[in-house]
Amino acid sequence: MADVDPRGLVNRALLVGVSEYDLTEPPHGVPGDLPAVKHDLNRLQEVLQRGGVFGEREITVARSPSLDEFSRALRTAADEAEGLLLLYFAGHGAIPSAGDELFLQMRNASVVAGGHAVFPGAEMFTTVLTVLATSRARRVVVVLDCCFAGNAAWIWETFPDKRRVLLLMSVQANHRIDAGDPRTPTPFTEELCRLLDVDGEVRFSHLADGLRRRMAEAGRKTVRGDDWEPQSRSVPDEDVLVSARAARPPGRTPAPPPPPPPPPPWSGTAARLRAWAAAGAALLRRVLPSGPPRPPTLRAALLSALAVAAVGVGYGIVVSAGDDASCAPPLELRVLTDPDLEPTVRAAADAYLTSDGNTSGAGCRRSGITVYSAGAADAVTTLRGQTGAWQEPHDDDVNPQRDVGPQPDVWIPASRADVARVVQGQDTDAVAALQADDDPLAYSPMVLAVPQNLAAESLDERRGPTLNAMIDALRERDEQAEVRRPDPEFTDTGLLATIGLYRTDPRDPGRAERRVVQPGPPSPTAADLLCTLPDDDAVDDRTAALVPEFLMKSGIGCDSARRTPRIAQYPVDVPGLEPVFVRVRWQGAERDEADRDEAAGRFRSWLTGERGQEVLARDGFRSASGERPLLDTEDVAEGVLRDPSPLTEPAGRDAMEAALAGYRGANGPGRVLFLLDSSGSMAGQWDGPSGGPGLLKQSLGGLGDQDQYGVWAVSGTGEDTYDTVLPFGHHTRRDAERAIDGRAEVEDAEADPYGALRAALDVMERRGAEEERPDLVVYVTDDEDAARLTGDRLDLVVGQARAAEVPVTMVSLKSGGCDPGKPDARISGASGGRCLDADDDLGAALHDEVARTGTGED
């Protein structure tokens, strides 16, 4: 039973209050005496006696005990208790700089900073718990009313025998509190006594809830100025009765205590306090490592802590562990950004990590940062509709932690419109909330980077015309000229360029896409595009690239010797990049919310400050305000205009959504035929998200209602080389997955890839003759039957694949399956499809291939 009624058992209450300390003088004394604590003991003793759970002789009051006296009293109480054992402590609490232990300071406490013995005369809370755990008592209740009481919570969490222990703490971790008026109990204990001082049964849970409510209602603040929030810890459903006062006859209820009088003036002590504070500063100078002056962060915090303590109102102390203190592992910020921004944001984070702004007074890093990127459309989709799965992935098919990346604390998309896209469509039960800055971090216009010998010559042609007009003019200068643009799904640079491409005829994105058609899939990012072009000199010489201007400076490092120099032309109708800082807060992430906010805020300030802007300047960005000048006006990249005005308005939410939808449906609905190797050898590669059926199911997200598709299971070597798992047609994803789960299975047979592929190509050719559409054949195999696909048979399949003009994506579950010359590579190459093998990220790559053919949205 979780709820214990200890009445009738041997109970013990040990009430410890340290109101007087032997040593209150600097440098080793505690901050001062605590007269209010005397009242705490008197009042608590009184209400507990009346409560009826503890007999008069079961309550021990220890007034300002030394450490030894306390230890003895604690052991005695622990030895004797059988039912409820209650320990109450009021006095000074202290923590080392790491905050990972709480010291309860007894009468003979002192503070020696440096070395090991930091808090002589104090008891570690871990030791207290350990002694309490030796008791036979059925429940142990611990009440701490001191500064940093909440730091006990963690110790309780990691304490193995905590089931019996119920813990009540006056304040949240790392917070100091005011002891209040010396003539009344401390604020926390006063509220505690009021809650106990009622007729009827009072349980621990009742106290914990009531204290939180009452302190909030009273609007009390900690010394730092935060809301004062008492804490409690207990294993769920564990409870215990702490008071059960019999109802009194009417008329005898004591009057509520009068409101406390205003505190008396603290006259006459100023000189002593000043001396204490000065000594505290001297002590800190010894505690902190010497060296070059550092920002006033930790030192100032410690000084202010001591100064507050010195005026006698706080009852706690925090001390750096001394010269041999190691730096604690810092708070980790997860920073998600657009793939094209990743190198710049990473460079900024690297510079920030070692900057003074991120270094504490002790020379430690205040935060760590990991910068990563995810496909821009994926980031928006996931923040908009899948935050629940991001926080807690429940099935293998939808796991953003695996497929998108860490849950970001900070998101830096390439445009503020991305934030609007998320917010507009966000689920009502989303567990991530975004807070975006008003102003972007920087700016970079989208440019048409044209090979030097094909570029427009007059300034008016270089800045002013629309994108499509520029492309037309380019083709007039050279009809062989081509234009390429990065993948609009993967990076915002591609999507922003697409907005410009679609402006002429928004209803016919297919026509616009033909302006940027290229063999094979588009480059994933603008940076990749600029690096890929020089692979083929002829292509490099005749191809203009739609890229952000900053890459004209920082994106041309690869193949620098061979690349064709390019000139930037500035279309008037393509919105530019405006990276914006977005704080992402996750529901449930309350453990360090304030610290995390502060860490994110510091990084943000640094980015917008001088040093951050230096990094952005070096990479070729412009200012986000005014005339949008280049941040680095001295080292200007070749081919870039200093003043390319007029620049365009920021990207709009709807424009981006429309461009993405247009791109996805540009070629109309597609047709996909999946062939799934189901021969015996697939048994070892069947289950789970990266097994054959799992890969196939993940890729269905790339298909929409308008698309048609079917699934064949390939096995058998005679006439029948396949079974139909899902007939060709329109399907919902759910129905399709159900069919695959229900009907696709490993057969005890070998497979004939030759026969199955030829049959598939026949089918797709017939359908192509009926109506032209984007088509795709996907063959998922472990290549165990590749022996049936050699010599003439392979040549025949390759020949048919080439003639059919239907791309075949071969998915080999083997490493090296796509090595040059392998059957998979030859078939996919001849057909214009891609070859994917176990060295690729198969799930994501196959999804992308299918999505390019279909019109699905995730």
Enumerate residues 284-303 that contact another protein by CB under 8 A.
289
Q: 């004394």: which residue's tokens?
A: 29
Least Å from the CB of residue 370 to another protein: 3
Query: Applying CB under 8 A, which part among 68-76, 172-180, 189-197, 686-694 lies near another protein?
Result: 686-694
If one asks whether residue 160 binds another protein (CB under 8 A), the answer comes out as yes
Kindly identify the residues of this chain, within the stretch 76-115, that bind another protein according to CB under 8 A.
96, 98, 100-101
Is residue 167 close enough to count as binding another protein by CB under 8 A? no
Q: Are 662 and 501 in contact (CB under 8 A)?
A: no
* Angle, in degrees to the nearest 10, between helices 593-608 and 342-353: 110
- E-strand stretches of 72-170: 84-90, 92-96, 103-105, 122-124, 139-145, 165-169
Q: Applying CB under 8 A, does 120 fall inside the site for another protein?
A: no
Nearest-approach distance from CB 634 to another protein, in angstroms: 23
CA angle 597, 377, 773 (to 5 degrees): 175
**Among the candidate windows 83-91, 273-281, 346-354, 489-497, which touches another protein by CB under 8 A?**
346-354
Q: Does residue 364 belong to the site contacting another protein (CB under 8 A)? A: yes
Please choose, out of 127-135, 182-190, 273-281, 495-503, the segment that lies near another protein by the rule CB under 8 A.
127-135
| 334 or 611: CB nearest another protein | 334
What count of residues does the chain have?
A: 858
Residue showing tokens 């201007």? 549
Cis preceding linkage at 65, omega within 30: no
Q: Is 343 or 662 the residue whose CB approaches another protein more closely?
A: 343
- HEC string of 305-373 equals HHHHHHCCCECEEEECCCCCCCCCCCEEEEEEECCCCHHHHHHHHHHHHCCHHHECCCCCECEEEEEEE
Smallest separation (angstroms) from another protein to the CB of 390:
8
Residues between 583 and 612 that touch another protein (CB under 8 A): 586, 588-593, 596
* Span interacting with another protein, options 18-26, 121-129, 190-198, 415-423, rule CB under 8 A: 121-129
Question: Considering only residues 210-249, where is the footprint of another protein by CB under 8 A?
Answer: 235-236
Q: Do residues 148 and 95 lie in contact, with contact meaning Cβ atoms separated by under 8 Å? A: yes
Q: How far is the CB of 548 from another protein (least distance, A)?
A: 23
CA distances from 781 to 166, 751, 791 (A): 58, 10, 19
- Tokens 């995730």 appear where? 858
- CA geometry: angle 482, 486, 487, nearest 5 deg: 125
Complex with another protein: residue 89 or 443, whichever CB lies closer:
89
Cα-Cα-Cα-Cα torsion 767, 771, 774, 775, nearest 10 degrees, comes to: 0
Alpha-carbon distance of 565 to 556, in angstroms, equals 10
| For another protein, the closer CB: 586 or 728 | 586
Per-residue x/- mask for another protein, residues 305 to 324, rule CB under 8 A? ----------------x--x
In 197-339, alpha helices (H): 204-217, 270-287, 297-310
**How many DSSP H helices and E strands does the chain contain?**
29, 28
Show the tokens assigned to 748.
Answer: 């005890």
3-state secondary structure of 221: strand
CA distance 6 to 12: 10
**Does the protein bind another protein through residue 340 (CB under 8 A)?**
no
Kindly state the smallest distance separating residue 432's Cβ from another protein, in Å. 9
CB 822 to another protein: min, Å: 9
Neighbouring CB atoms inside 10 A of 459's CB total: 11
Our finding on whether 126 is near another protein (CB under 8 A) is: yes
Q: Which stretch binds another protein (CB under 8 A): 29-37, 202-210, 365-373, 544-552?
A: 365-373
Compute how many residues bind another protein; rule: CB under 8 A: 91
Q: Looking up tokens 């083997």, which residue turns up?
A: 814
Q: Is the alpha carbon torsion for 538, 542, 545, 551 positive or negative?
A: positive
CA-nearest of 322, 315, 324, 329 to 102 is: 315
Residues facing 249 on adjacent strands: none
Residue 677 in contact with another protein, rule: CB under 8 A: no
Q: Fill in the per-residue mask, 137 to 156: x = in contact with another protein (CB under 8 A), - = not in contact.
A: -----------------xx-
429 makes contact with another protein (CB under 8 A): no
Distance (Å, rounded) from C-alpha 88 to C-alpha 91? 10
Positions 495 through 524 that interact with another protein (CB under 8 A): none
Distances (CA, A) of 526 to 149, 374, 418, 452, 481: 54, 14, 18, 19, 19
HSE-up of residue 738 (Cα within 13 Å, Cβ side): 5
The nearest distance, CB 774 to another protein, in angstroms, is: 29
Interface of this chain with another protein, residues 698 to 757, rule: CB under 8 A: 748-750
CB of 669 or CB of 680, closer to another protein: 680
Residues 656-675 that bind another protein (CB under 8 A): none
For the chain, the maximum distance between any two Cα atoms, rounded to a whole number of angstroms, is 108
- Residue 364 or 473: the one with the smaller Cβ distance to another protein is 364
Residue tagged 């039912």 (tokens): 83
Of 194, 221, 334, 788, which one interacts with another protein (CB under 8 A)? 334
Return the number of the residue (398 or 636) whose C-beta is nearest another protein.
Answer: 398
**559 near another protein, rule: CB under 8 A:** no
Residue nearer to another protein on the CB measure, 244 or 347: 347
Binding range to another protein, per CB under 8 A, among 19-27, 83-91, 366-374, 434-442: 366-374
Only one residue has tokens 């453990």, namely 591
Distance in Å, CB of 763 to another protein, minimum: 27
Q: Angle, to 10 degrees, between the axis of helix 593-608 and the axis of helix 610-618?
A: 60
Q: Is 351 in the site for another protein (CB under 8 A)?
A: no
Q: State whether residue 244 is helix, strand or coil.
A: strand
State the nearest-atom distance from the C-beta of 372 to another protein, in Å.
5
For another protein, the closer of residues 233 and 628 by Cβ is: 233
Site for another protein in 809-838 (CB under 8 A): 813-816, 819-820, 838
What's 411's DSSP letter?
E
Task: Provide the minimum distance between the beta carbon of 580 and another protein in the complex, in angstroms, as a whole number.
Answer: 21
Residue 329 or residue 626: which is nearer to another protein going by CB?
Answer: 329
Cβ(456)–Cβ(569) under 8 Å? yes
Nearest residue (CB) to another protein, 395 versus 438: 395
Applying CB under 8 A, among 199, 350, 537, 772 the residue interacting with another protein is: 350
Tell the smallest beta-carbon distance from residue 596 to another protein (Å): 6
**What is the closest distance, in whole angstroms, from the C-beta atom of residue 563 to another protein in the complex?**
16
> 69 or 840: whose CB is closer to another protein?
840
Interstrand relation of 566-569 and 582-586 (parallel, antiparallel or unpaired): unpaired
Q: Which is nearer to another protein, 126 or 518 (CB)?
A: 126
463 binds another protein (CB under 8 A): no
Please list the residues that pair with 227 across neighbouring strands.
Answer: 221
Q: Which is nearer to another protein, 118 or 448 (CB)?
A: 118
CA 502, CA 833: separation in Å to the nearest integer? Answer: 26
Q: How far is the CB of 430 from another protein (least distance, A)?
A: 13
Residue partners of 820: CB distance under 8 A and separation at least 6: none
- Asked if residue 402 binds another protein (CB under 8 A), the reply is yes
Three-state DSSP at 272 gives helix
Residues 773-812 that bind another protein (CB under 8 A): 782, 784-785
Q: Which of 327, 423, 539, 636 binds another protein (CB under 8 A)?
A: 327
How many C-beta neighbours within 10 Å does residue 473 have? 15
The yes or no reply on residue 71 touching another protein (CB under 8 A) is: no
Q: Binding to another protein by residue 854, rule CB under 8 A?
A: no
- Which residue lies nearer to another protein by CB, 328 or 423? 328
